[in-house]
């Protein structure tokens, strides 16, 4: 999970000690005692597995190096799992120079803050004053865009919704078909698979079914609801109704059941949520009172037992666009767009809660119009997070608020988008964790910033992590065809990384597309705690240990580390990259080696197994400073062929991301920047994928970064 890391080094103000009386006198700024910080103070785009190091001097008077303690915490103040070591560089009884090296045993998060606290005492036992600096980690990126509905031919598809089950399967539901004869479909991306399964048709009725919503219960049973006009010709049943179907495998679906009670009016725009007891709550927009109201129904058995629809709103004006969530104590919250103050204040966002007799509460009632709300609850407690479209900006922008307790006391933070002169619509939100405990708030929306007069439909999907230190707006698409993208929905995979689905017009008809976060797998392929003086010798039978594609072995000579200390060395697969946009040659694998930021004193040897192929893969490392794949420093490349796998072996003197391609790579790709953070041997492309994938989102980041620095300081606040 990508985090921007603010490395707050709290070092201590030094005082000179009078050895006879122990009277302290200031000796100046402690910053002069700290040198060679790596990464440099205020660095940005720092890799997620980077070493942290700095030099410090014990002058025998002011700083007792034996008393130094180092603590590294994330933005919530949580201590990270890692290890720090003090290494003597040089010195004598009067003066000693040390290098402090910190290695985290877990990936830093994207765009997150990390605080490094260093405490120490002088020789008289007095605690010294601190010094601090920070760094910022690299942004999140998204991998190759994958088509979800590949088997539906020329049917227009739209309105996707998504969930991920406890096994790791990703489920997407959507509507497809002609405007008056649509059906609801579902498809699964199995855990670890590269493409979605064939779509399954959920509805089997000749009339129109549309606007699906989806939820999972604790047993991974799928619940899909939609609006349905199969009763349109029956005057006793109404035109549009809300229907539901369930499935335990995504293939066989239960009989379609009407959720609302029979009436002659329209029920549309359903939303669904489940509580921890697997009770199902469905809300919708209802015109039975001759205006639009919000209704809700509850069931414990998939609405097999008929329930009574209950109105939440009674105002004679229109209430529309309902959304729903359930908090950790099973309180149900519904919010919607409300017109009761339209004449004086525009539309507002109102809400109601099950623990307050559904009393209507004005959640956001600023001047101008507020519409299109979305809501999500934290995993613990009663804090809610909301997005909506707000006409405070003339074109309409995405605004954000979080509450302090249920629907009470929203705190407005309008820093969601960094191009507020252009329109943003159709917000989506997803929340994991809770305040103070790994909180992640993800937002996505449809964005008009790249629309021009020659192609007014060229809208894009953007993403931001609102709980990060910057909330940088990230461009998600990879088509480059100036086509429509809209209607985003967010999910989180079983490992906790966000993914997106949306409606996409890059082809002749509208389709559903998917993109997942690029990340290095949390569980390494290869990891060892290496002693500095011993190194890692793989022995004579290292070839026998590589029997499957993707397996790795690493040989590190004794005393090869840049510091005279022990380290944990690891290698992980990089997931959800976009190598097909880089080259037509077959990818044999992409791997993150760490810790990043390490330069070995002598070459180390890496061996990677890959699937047998007539084309010998070439090895490249990623240079983020120049946005290139490079081969400088890769030497002694050797190929070994076994019956089940082939192996490439090579020497390098640094760790970063390495890529194997089954032949010549396409011409090197330059870029328009993309964020610094150091050169190839000092920084990795972890969670960036490859050059093309990295650059497409970050061409836009250049403008964002300039805006952040020069125009909108609000987006750079550290939280």
Region label for 409, one of left (φ > 0), alpha (ψ between -120 and 50) or beta (otherwise): left
Phi, psi of 698 (to 5 degrees): -95, -10
- 693 contacts 143 by C-beta, under 8 angstroms: yes
| Nearest one of 108, 164, 113, 136 to 687, comparing CA atoms | 108
| 271/468: higher pLDDT | 271
DSSP summary character for residue 532: T
> 3-state SS of 609-640?
EECCCCCCCEEEEEECCCCEEECCCCEEEEEE
Query: What is the reported pLDDT for 18?
Result: 33
Residues 353, 355: Cα–Cα separation, whole Å: 5
* Angstrom distances, CA of residue 159 to CA of 201, 426, 657: 15, 11, 37
Q: Tell me whether the CATH fold assigned to 146-519 matches the one assigned to 526-703.
A: no
Query: What is the reported pLDDT for 237?
Result: 61
Q: How is residue 133 written in tokens?
A: 């600096």
| 109/636: higher pLDDT | 636
Query: Which CATH number is correct for 15-121, 2.60.40, 1.10.1740, 3.40.50, 2.40.230?
Result: 2.60.40
Query: What is the reported pLDDT for 582?
Result: 60
Query: The pTM is what?
Result: 0.87
129 pLDDT exceeds 90? no
Residues 12, 225: Cα–Cα separation, whole Å: 60
CATH of domain 526-703: 2.60.220.30
Region label for 500, one of left (φ > 0), alpha (ψ between -120 and 50) or beta (otherwise): beta
Residues 274, 439: Cα–Cα separation, whole Å: 21
* Angstrom distances, CA of residue 555 to CA of 101, 537, 638, 640: 22, 5, 15, 16
187 pLDDT exceeds 70? yes
Residues 604, 652: Cα–Cα separation, whole Å: 6
* Angstrom distances, CA of residue 118 to CA of 81, 523, 566: 16, 29, 20
How many degrees, rounded to 5, is the angle at CA 472 between CA 469 and CA 478? Answer: 145
Class of domain 146-519: mainly beta
Q: Cis before residue 679, ω within 30 degrees of 0? A: no
680 pLDDT exceeds 90? no
**Least confident stretch, 26-35, 268-277, 463-472:** 26-35
Q: Is 343 exposed, middle or buried (0-12, 13-18, 19+ CB in 10 A)?
A: exposed
pLDDT tens digits, residue range 374-389?
Answer: 999 999 999 999 999 9
**In the chain, what are the domain boundaries?**
15-121, 146-519, 526-703
**What does pLDDT average to over the chain?**
84
């Amino acid at each position: 999970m990508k985090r921007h890391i603010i490395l707050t080094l709290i070092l201590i103000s030094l005082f000179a000690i009078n050895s006879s009386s122990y009277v302290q006198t200031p000796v100046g700024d402690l910053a002069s005692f700290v040198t060679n910080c790596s990464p440099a103070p205020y660095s940005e785009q720092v890799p997620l597995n980077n070493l942290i190091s700095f030099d410090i001097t014990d002058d025998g008077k002011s700083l007792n190096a034996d008393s130094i303690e180092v603590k590294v915490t994330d933005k919530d103040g949580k201590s990270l799992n890692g290890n720090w070591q003090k290494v003597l560089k040089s010195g004598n009884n009067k003066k000693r120079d040390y290098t402090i090296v910190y290695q985290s045993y877990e990936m830093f998060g994207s765009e997150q803050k990390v605080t490094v606290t260093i405490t120490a005492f002088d020789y008289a036992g007095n605690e010294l004053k601190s010094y601090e600096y920070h760094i910022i980690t690299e942004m999140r990126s998204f991998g190759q865009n994958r088509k979800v509905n590949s088997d539906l031919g020329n049917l227009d598809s739209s309105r996707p919704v998504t969930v991920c089950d406890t096994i790791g399967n990703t489920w997407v539901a959507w509507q497809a078909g002609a405007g008056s004869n649509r059906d609801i479909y579902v498809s699964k991306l199995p855990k670890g698979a590269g493409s979605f399964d064939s779509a399954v048709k959920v509805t089997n009725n000749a009339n129109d079914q549309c606007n699906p919503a989806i939820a999972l219960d604790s047993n991974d049973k799928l619940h899909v609801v939609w609006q349905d006009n199969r009763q349109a010709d029956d005057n006793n049943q109404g035109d549009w109704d809300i229907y539901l179907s369930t499935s335990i495998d995504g293939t066989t679906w239960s009989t379609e059941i009407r959720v609302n009670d029979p009436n002659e009016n329209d029920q549309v725009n359903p939303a669904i949520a489940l509580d921890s007891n697997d009770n199902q709550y469905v809300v919708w927009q209802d015109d039975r009172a001759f205006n639009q109201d919000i209704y809700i129904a509850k069931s414990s058995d998939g609405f097999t037992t008929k329930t009574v629809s209950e109105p939440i709103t009674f105002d004679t004006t229109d209430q529309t666009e309902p959304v729903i969530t359930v908090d950790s104590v099973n309180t149900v919250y519904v919010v919607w767009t409300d017109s009761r103050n339209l004449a004086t204040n525009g539309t507002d966002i109102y809400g109601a809660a099950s623990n307050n007799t559904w009393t209507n509460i004005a959640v956001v009632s600023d001047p101008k119009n507020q519409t299109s709300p979305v809501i999500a609850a934290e995993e613990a407690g009663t804090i809610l997070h909301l997005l909506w479209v707000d006409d405070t900006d003339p074109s309409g922008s995405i605004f954000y608020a979080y509450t302090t307790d249920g629907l009470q006391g929203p705190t407005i933070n309008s820093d969601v988008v960094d191009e507020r002169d252009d329109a943003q619509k159709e917000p989506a939100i997803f929340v994991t964790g809770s305040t103070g405990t790994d909180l992640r708030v993800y937002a996505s929306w449809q964005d008009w910033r790249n629309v021009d007069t020659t192609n007014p439909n060229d809208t894009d999907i953007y993403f931001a992590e609102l709980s990060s230190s910057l909330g940088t707006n990230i461009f998600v698409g990879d088509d480059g065809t100036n086509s429509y993208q809209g209607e985003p929905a967010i999910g989180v995979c079983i490992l906790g990384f966000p993914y997106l689905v949306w409606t996409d017009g890059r082809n002749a008809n509208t389709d559903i597309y998917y993109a997942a976060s690029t990340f290095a797998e949390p569980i390494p392929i290869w990891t060892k705690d290496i002693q500095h003086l011993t190194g890692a010798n793989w022995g004579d039978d290292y070839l026998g240990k590589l029997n499957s594609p993707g397996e790795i072995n690493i040989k590190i000579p004794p005393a090869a580390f840049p510091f005279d200390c022990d380290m944990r060395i690891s290698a992980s697969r990089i997931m959800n990259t976009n190598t097909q946009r880089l080259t037509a040659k077959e990818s044999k694998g992409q791997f993150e080696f760490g810790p990043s930021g390490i330069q070995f004193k002598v070459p180390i040897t890496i061996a990677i197994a890959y699937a047998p192929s007539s084309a010998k893969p070439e090895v490249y490392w990623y240079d983020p400073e120049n946005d290139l794949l490079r081969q400088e420093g890769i030497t002694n490349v050797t190929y070994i062929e076994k019956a089940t796998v082939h192996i490439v072996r090579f020497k390098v003197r640094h760790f970063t991301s390495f890529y194997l391609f089954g032949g010549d790579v396409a011409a090197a790709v330059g870029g328009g920047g993309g964020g610094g953070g150091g050169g190839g041997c000092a920084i990795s492309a972890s969670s960036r994928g490859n050059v093309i994938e990295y650059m497409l989102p970050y061409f836009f980041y250049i403008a964002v970064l300039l805006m952040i620095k020069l125009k909108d300081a609000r987006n750079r606040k550290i939280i």
